Amino acid sequence: MATLADKIMNFYTSLSIPVLPQGIEVMNPYRSKVARALAKQFYTKFYNDTNVRTLILGINPGRYGGGITGIPFTDPIKLEKYCGIENNLVKKAELSADFIYRMIESYGGTTSFYSRFYISAVSPLGFTAVGKNVNYYDLRSLENSLRDFIVNSLRAQLDLPLERKCCFCLGEGKNFQYVSKLNQEYSFFEKIVPLAHPRFIMQYRRKKVDAYIGAYLGALGGG
């Protein structure tokens, strides 16, 4: 029987992106042997079972985190320090990953957290324009071109298996609005719970990080 790790890796390595608007480039780390190997180590370590997880949806991977490691909200530093997976990638921190792993440590650590949750993104692949991150909703033309890709990606991940009663959405604004609208149309989940996005917290509410971690733990049922 295929494990959850097997299914996750099959999902990520089979992703294909549609034609994108001019000037937008996709970040697909799974084309890299290094990133594929690191992602396989990560998912084998934490998802080598058939247990159900609760989905946490981000926006799309960034160029310093999931965009290079292949693991959402996990930069090369966190991958080594908290997940125990050594790597030769450039050790540059990602703000969102800083928050996520502080929260995971408060939850009880990586083994405890990943045994209950699976982090992905509305768009499991990220995008750049002129070397900077671009969110899937930043440009209407990009959002429109990605709609089928996003819907199909969510459908595919629901076979992993995932809990259908509740999904957590990182981002209380546009990301939550978009996911909620899709959910009304396709009934992916019974309930979607919004949480402040890690980058927003670290960029604009850094003095309140501990309070936001408390809010996450309260919603996720940990700590």
- Which tens digit of pLDDT belongs to each residue from 66-111? 999 999 999 999 999 999 999 999 999 999 999 999 999 999 999 9
Per the CB < 8 A criterion, the answer to whether 114 and 72 are in contact is no
What is the percent of the chain with per-residue pLDDT over 90, rounded to a whole number?
91
Residue-level pLDDT at 201? 97
Tokens of 57: 């949806």
Residue-level pLDDT at 222? 64
Residue-level pLDDT at 1? 80
Residue-level pLDDT at 79? 98
Which portions of the chain are predicted below pLDDT 70? 222-223
Tell me how far apart the alpha carbons of residues 36 and 178 are, in angstroms, rounded to a whole number. Answer: 29
Residue-level pLDDT at 63? 86
CB atoms near residue 49 (< 10 Å): 11
Tell me how far apart the alpha carbons of residues 138 and 135 are, in angstroms, rounded to a whole number. Answer: 5
Residue-level pLDDT at 163? 94
Segment (H or E) for 127: strand 126-129
Residue-level pLDDT at 168? 98
3-state secondary structure 19-72: CCCCCCEEECHHHCHHHHHHHHHHHHHHCCCCCCEEEEEECCCCCCCHHHHCCC
Residue-level pLDDT at 77? 97
Per the CB < 8 A criterion, the answer to whether 74 and 198 are in contact is no
Residue-level pLDDT at 223? 55
